[in-house]
Structure 1
Amino acid sequence: MDPRLFYAAFTGDVNALLELIREDPLLLHAVTVTTSNTPLHVAALLGHAQFAMVAMQNCPGLADELNQQGFSPIHLASAKGHREIVRDMLVRRPDLALIKDGDGKNPLHTAATKGRVQVLSVVFSIESAQELTPMGENALHVAVKHNQYKALETLIQLAYQIQVGDELVNAKDEDGNTVLHLACAAKNSKSSQLSDSINDTLDQLIIRSYSQQIVKLLVSDRANVEVNAVNSEGLTALDISVTSMAGSKELEEIQEVLRSAGAEVSGRPVQAPVSNQRQQALSREDRSLTSRNENYADSLRNGVGVLAALFAASSFQLGMHPPGGFWQEWDSSTSQKSLNVTHKPGKSIIWELHKSESLKFFQTNAGCFFSSLAMLVVLAFNELLNGRGSYTFNQKRQRYWITLLHLLFGCLLVYAAVEFIQGMALVTDTSVAYISSNICTQAWVTMAVYFLLAFCSLVHGRLTR
């Protein structure tokens, strides 16, 4: 993508976009061939509504493009909750309400997954609500699986407004599970991911609270749900709750809610732990998400490996060919037979002239070189163990390797920055090195502030979720 076009999309500069289109009327049409993230993807992600509409007006086909992650622009806008962009895109292209992403989900499914209530009313229709994911799920299934209570409440309200409420709340996925079955299962994809990544009991309590609210909503007079519907294994929602929620005070309250609504056990013996019902319903989606994450991780490792190899090669080159070159002959005041020589052929010139500064430079260069080698060893060892299956990498162990790789990469960047400043001091003077040092310091401080803000945003999202 033309850097000017990307910057215009990033900043939402409509005038710059129009100027670029005047220069090259085919610019937006050509970008669909050269890149996966089009300007419309960027604008939809960042919420630049006016830019998105101008881009779509000049090239309507941009709205059909899927990026490398499998998302169309309207999927990104739905996931981020940009109601205005979603509404304007549907006004221009109503068929976009049914466009599928790489996982076979439409924008309604995406909005339900993220709980974007403000978008649901825009993308909801009979057609989009009846669309199913590859696992046979409608938007209500998706909302329950991701514990989006407000989204589920909104979807039920919208469904009954257009007389499809009973159909949607009692619809079954390909495993025969209704939304009530999924709500009664103790584990789901979100709770599983939280327990794997955080291992915090508080998160489990929050998930159970969401499940309780969802079950109460489904059995209330706002949703005419069939409480005794059975899934493909012949189990009712109460069957699942009795087995998967045993021993939990919070979740046993759900059983009382179900019984008061007339729910019964099927009497069919359970041959497997029913707490895995929702897990089974999510297994294919999880594998799809895992596959996408693994592809991203592979690309990231490949990129880090290339950078490590480049740093190793450049550090080796600097070590063998330092700035200033080598002496080509014996010192003029000596001879080859002299024992007291000032310099010898093949010795570094800068070492003889600035031993203290060059020593620091060579030490930093060695640190950069060996950090690069260590990164390559970690990457190779990781691939060897994964490829041969000689070691089972669960998520926890994998995080240790990724953390180690990040630490080594951080050391490598620090060494490279210091080495650059020291090299500038050797080949120029201290004033130039001082300026370079100030620029480097400002860059590091800026990055540190950025990552601190990102971390604070992550923590705030965890606390308010």
Structure 2
Amino acid sequence: MAAEEVEKKLYDAVSKGDVTKFRELVEQDPYLVDEASFSCSRNVLHIATMRGQTAIVEEVLKMNPSLARILDSQQSSPLHIAAAQGHVEISRKLLSVAPVTRWWRDCHDMNPVHVAAINGHVEMLGHLLEESPLPAMERVGRGQTVLHLCVKHGQLTTLQVLGGKLWELMDEVDEDGETLLHLAVRSNQLEILQYLGESNKIRRRKRNYVGKTALQILNQSPPATIASYSEMRRILKTLLPPSSIKILPKINDAAMVVVVLIATMAFQNTVNPPGGVWQDNASSHEAGNAVIAYTHPYIYKHMLRSNTVAFVSSLVTIFLITTGLPSISVTFLMTTLCAMLASILAIAVSYGASILAITPNADTESPGAGVVVGIVVSLSLSILVLMFLFVRITRWYFMWMRRTRHQEDLTTDPLPLRLLYWIFQRLRRRDVSENNVNR
């Protein structure tokens, strides 16, 4: 009975921060600090930390610093308690004698960083992450990150702080494949969803492991108020995949250089054809006329047509690029790409015709002519095949983007198409990741 009274007096002294009374009790029984045990198997240091009594914590650590490594019945160390209460100064003293406790987990599988995050103690988080951010990278049960915990417990402030330091975790998923967006919708956290939508660190769209997006979850379990539902739906709509035009490779300055070069080649090949022009007038020709038009009229006719196609299609491409029309319409984008490919094909045909015109004995039966024609035909066919494949793949890409925008099920499509969808998704993820790194 006497021991219980002493422990009660000790508990009162520690709870109130009465250092004098604490020292008197310890002088009477030097083993009191080591042996005293309170509810939930907590020792003196647990109680002093819980009550925020920094002076008592200092006294206890001087007497027995190993108490900082003792766990209570909840597997919580004194540092866990300090993190839960937000006692930064006490946590400094605890870490000075037991730094390893920053990694220890309680019965809920959380380390002190997780505990501070779910309780909204921003200053405590800053202190715990001063030395190393690695404890914050640890996952808890169900594979959730510390950011998942912030969303789950509605801690917007801590999410903003940690999101700035641990941006690479913003797009991570748990064991169910759910992102922060999924959890925000499930928890009806409108403010957090607004922050996630404005952060530009969330991948545009992601399904969980049962194939549902955050928007589908919202539609299946809408919040109580129509206003909240409308706002959350609006935010999630803005996070749909970006415009297909922005994801496709842009027609940049290099493309402009190519088409300008083709236009120059076509123009020069027309006004200054192979063999030059007649310099004098005669009964059979006039000065300024192309020599090849008389020596190889058939070849000249096809070369002139090819040059015209290359020149006109290059001008069309230049016009579309300079006006910026491909960036506002898929139709203009496809027109630009087809015009550019047509100019390349036409200039290749013109080149072949020029070779035939200036090659000795370039008749249809000569071996040299056959080789040249074969090369030109092969090149032309290759470009046509590439053009066809490009148009088809682009069409499939637009179809994939449209269907994902409308949350359609893609798992029933043929295997080749699903493989192509997987490639599209991987490319888009890499593009978004690179943008996040650049930011």
What TM-score do the two structures reach when normalised by structure 2? 0.50
What TM-score do the two structures reach when normalised by structure 1? 0.47
